[in-house]
Amino acid sequence: MSFALAHANVRVRVTRMKDAKALERLILGNREWLRPWEATNPHGANSFDMRPNVRAMLRQFDAGTGIPFVIEMDDVVVGQLNVANILHGSVSSATIGYWVVPQVAGRGITPTAVALVSDYLFNQMDLHRVEIEIRPENQASLRVVEKLGFRYEGTKLRHIHINGEWRDHFSFALTQEEIREGVLNRWLQNRVPPLEYPWKN
């Protein structure tokens, strides 16, 4: 199954195998921008061959445990958004991770993509909770959750191996009850409530 979500000139669609080369070019062509935030393998080197990566993500998609998306602006791939750890039943949650190339950062592309996917998870998959985890130093990603009104819930110490070290991450979440009007609609209508964020204290 393949599907896409769109608003204005932003579209997120399920990744296809033929996207592997384009993603590989973007990742290799933007090393300085992406390296500080990339998950690494504590037991070996990372591979930039995206074919096995995309193949593994599509297996998760088939199993119902994840959804790999590419982010497009004006029909050109500019990044990725991956939904992982999809759980149903008494947990009913998922985690979102994302990146875009520096050329489109700060133009509303990422918050639009995150809002579209969050609304899909809440409304179409009937999940109760969407989580995002971000390194405290990643100001660009922190601006995304702040714009969309994700709640800060705490810090996970030495949580994910990033750029060669175990790194702390801020944890953010939204639940279905908080966002009946929709994540995208609330943001576009400037109705995101003021929230406390640790990097502003």
Tens digit of pLDDT for each residue in 8-46? Answer: 999 999 999 999 999 999 999 998 998 888 888 887 666
In a domain? residue 199:
no
In a domain? residue 201:
no
In a domain? residue 183:
yes
In a domain? residue 31:
yes
Tens digit of pLDDT for each residue in 142-200? Answer: 999 999 999 999 999 999 999 889 999 999 999 999 999 999 999 999 999 999 998 88
In a domain? residue 198:
no
In a domain? residue 90:
yes
Residue 162 structural domain:
4-192
How many domains are there within the chain?
Answer: 1
CA atoms within 13 A on the CB side of 42: 8
pTM exceeds 0.85: yes
How many C-beta neighbours within 10 Å does residue 192 have?
Answer: 15
